[in-house]
Chains A and B, each alone.
Chain A
Amino acid sequence: MTTYALDATALGMRYRRGWGLRDCEFQLPTGRISALIGPNGAGKSTLMRLATGLLRPTTGSIRVLGEEPGRHGTHRKLAFLAQDKPLYRGFTVAEMLRAGAVLNPSWDDEYAWRLVREADVPPQAKVGTLSGGQRTRVALAIALGRRPEVVLLDEPLADLDPLAREDVMRTLMAEVADSGMTVVLSSHVIADLDGVCDHLLLLAGGRVRLQGDVEDLLAQHRVLIGSRELVMPDGVVEARTTERQATVIARTGPVPGWEADEPSLEELAMAYLRSARAVAA
C-alpha cells in the first residue's frame, strides 16, 4: 500500500460559523509539489492546520505519512509555514534559530544557518524589524531546518514584492531538487504555481472540486471554441457564450465541430472555481 504525504478520509471541520471543510477525500503523493488552490475561505488554511494537529477534525481523519496528528506536536517529518510567518517578535534571528534547534530533535543547524546566510539576513536583527521578504526567508529556513520530508506552505508568497517572491521560490525549488521533499503549496494566485506544481488539489466552499496529476488533468480537459449552435459535449465544466460563439471547458477528448485546445493550468482552475461559485450562488 502506498504511503501518501497527506491522506484524508471523510475529513470535515466545523467552526461556529459553519463548515470550513466538509467530506474531503484526497491523497497527495510523496515526492511531488502539490498546489492547493482555492479562493479565500475555501478551506486551504484549515486543511493545513488539520494536518499539523493545530486543529482536530470534526469528522473523518487526515494522515500525514500514514500517521494521524497526535498529542506531541507536529509530525517530526512535517514542517509548516503559516501564512503570517509566525515567529517570536522580540527574538533576534540567531535566537529564533536557537529556538528551532531546542524545539526539534531532528534539527540541522548548519543547514538552517546556511539558508539564513544566503538570504542576507543579519543574525542579530530582531525578528520584528525584518522586511516581509526577510521574515519569510527566516521562517522558511526554520521550517526546512527541521529536515522535513513534507513541507506545508500556506500562501508563502502573499504580501511579498515580485523580487522577494522570485527569491523565495528559487530557494525553495533548489532545496526541493536537492532533498526530494514533498511540498504542498497553497495560493489563490494560480499564476504563482503554474510551471512549479505537478499535482493539484482544488478546493472551493470547503469541498474538493478537482484533484490529480497536473499533466493528466490538462490532457483530460479541452478548451472548446465553436458556434453556439453546436451540441454541447459531455463533461462540461463551464460554458460561456457570446452572441455568436461558445467557449466551453470540458472533461473530454476532441469533439467534432469544435476547435479544441489543451487548457492552461490557470484556465482549468478558473473554470472549476467559477463553476463552483455558480453552483453555490
Chain B
Amino acid sequence: MTWVAWRQQRLQVLISLAIITALAAVMVYTGFDARSLDETAVEDKYGMYLGYLQLLLLALPVLLGAFAGGPLFAREIEQGAHVFSLTQSIGRTRWWATKIAVAGLPVVLGMTLLGLVNAWADPALSTLRGARLAIPSFEVQGVAIGAYTALAFTLGATAGLLVRNTLGAMVTAIVGYVPVLIAVGNGLRPHYAEPQGGVVDSTMLREKAWRVETSYVDGAGNPVDLRAVCGDDVNRCFEEGKVRVHALFHPDDRFWAFQAVEAGVFLALSAALLGLGAWVLHRRLRLA
C-alpha cells in the first residue's frame, strides 16, 4: 500500500518539499549574509524581506496542509477509485493510515525543519522585528509551524472523508484553521505560563519581552488613571516620574517552552481530528 499511496501523492509531496527547500535555502543565505553586516545595513537590506517572509510563512502551513490533506481522500472518492482500493486484500484502516502517513509526514516534517532553519536565521534579523513570542514572529519559526501544518492537513483529510469533494475539503481546511490559529495566539498563548509583572523601563523593550497587559502606576506603585493624573501633557508626566508603565510580560527566554506547548496544543487537535476521521471511516463512510 505504501507504494500505491506514494505513487498517488508523489506530485504533491515533491512540489511541497521543493517549495520548503527553496525557502530554507533563501533563509540560510540570508542568515549568513545578515551576520556579516552591521545593524543599519541589515535594516536597509532586509526590512522588506522580513515582512514578506513572515507573510509567506504565516500562509504556508495552511496552504501546504490543505493542499496535501484536502484531496487525499476526497479526490479518490470523487473518482470512485476508493472502490478499487477497498476491494483488494487490505483493510480500510491500513488504506487510510498509509495515505495519511505518506502524504502528511513529509510535509509536517519539512515544515518543522523549515521552522528550525528560520529560528537559526532569526537572530541576525532580530532588530527588524518585535518580540519573538508575539504574533507574527512566534508563528513563523521553531517547531510550532510543523504542528500548524499537521492541523491544516488533518482538517483537510478528515473533511475529505466527510464531504467527499476536493474543493470542499480544502476550503474546510482553510476556514477551519484560521480561527484556531488566531484564537490560540490571542486567547491561549498568553496563559502558557504565569506572566511576570513589573514596572518597565526602556531596557525591557530592548530585551523584546512579550507584553500581554499594560497599566499605569504612580511613584508608589498604585494603579492610576493616566488622563486624570497627567491631563493632556502625558510626556512631561512620564519625565517627572509621576506615572510609570506597569506591564505583565513573558520574557524572551520562554520562547522554546512556549513553542513546545503550542506545538503540543496543535498536535493534540490534529490527533483528535484523526480520531474523528477513523470514526467516520468505520461508522459513517458510505462507499456505495
Contacts and interface: CB of A to CB of B under 8 A. Distances in A.
B81 A88 contact: yes
Given A49-B288, A54-B288, A55-B287, A84 B80 contact: yes
A54, A95, A105 — most chain B CB neighbours (10 Å): A54
B7 interface: yes
A52 interface: yes
Interface in B60-115: 79-93
Interface string B163-184: 0000000000000000000000
B189 to A, nearest CB: 41
Given A82-B83, A86-B84, A95-B7, A103 B286 contact: no
B91 A82 contact: no
A100 interface: yes
A74 B89 contact: yes
A91 B11 CA distance: 12
A86 to B, nearest CB: 4
A242 B85 CA distance: 54
Contacts of A46: 288
Nearest to B85: A103
Contacts of A240: none
A54 B1 contact: no
A57 to B, nearest CB: 12
A46 B89 CA distance: 20
Contact of B92 (A71, A87, A100, A146): A71
Given A86-B81, A89-B79, A99-B4, A73 B89 contact: yes
B8 interface: yes
Given A46-B288, A49-B287, A102-B4, A54 B89 contact: no
A86 B88 contact: no
Nearest to B90: A73
Contact of B287 (A54, A71, A89, A105): A54
B3 A102 contact: yes
A91 B288 contact: no
Interface residues of A, number: 33
A45 B87 CA distance: 14
Interface string A63-85: 00000000111101001101010
A72 B288 contact: no
A274 B88 CA distance: 37
Contacts of A90: 8
Contacts of B79: 86, 89
B89 A103 contact: yes
A106 interface: yes
Nearest to A52: B87
Contact of B89 (A45, A89, A106): A106
Contacts of B7: 88, 91, 95, 99
Given A90-B8, A98-B3, A103-B1, A146 B83 contact: no
Contact of A80 (B4, B81, B87): B87
Interface in A190-226: none
Contact of A105 (B1, B85, B89, B93): B89
A104 B89 contact: yes
A79 B7 CA distance: 23
Given A53-B86, A73-B91, A86-B82, 20 more contacts: A45-B288, A71-B91, A71-B92, A71-B93, A72-B89, A72-B91, A74-B87, A74-B89, A82-B83, A86-B84, A89-B81, A91-B7, A95-B7, A102-B1, A103-B4, A103-B85, A103-B90, A104-B88, A105-B89, A106-B89
Interface of A: 15, 45-46, 49, 52-55, 71-74, 76, 79-80, 82, 84, 86-91, 95, 98-100, 102-106, 146
26 contacts: A46-B288, A49-B287, A49-B288, A54-B87, A55-B286, A55-B287, A71-B93, A73-B89, A73-B91, A74-B86, A74-B87, A74-B88, A82-B80, A82-B83, A84-B80, A86-B79, A86-B81, A86-B82, A86-B83, A87-B84, A88-B7, A88-B84, A98-B3, A99-B4, A103-B88, A105-B89
The 8 closest A-B pairs by CB, nearest first: A103-B88, A72-B91, A54-B287, A86-B84, A86-B80, A86-B83, A80-B87, A74-B87
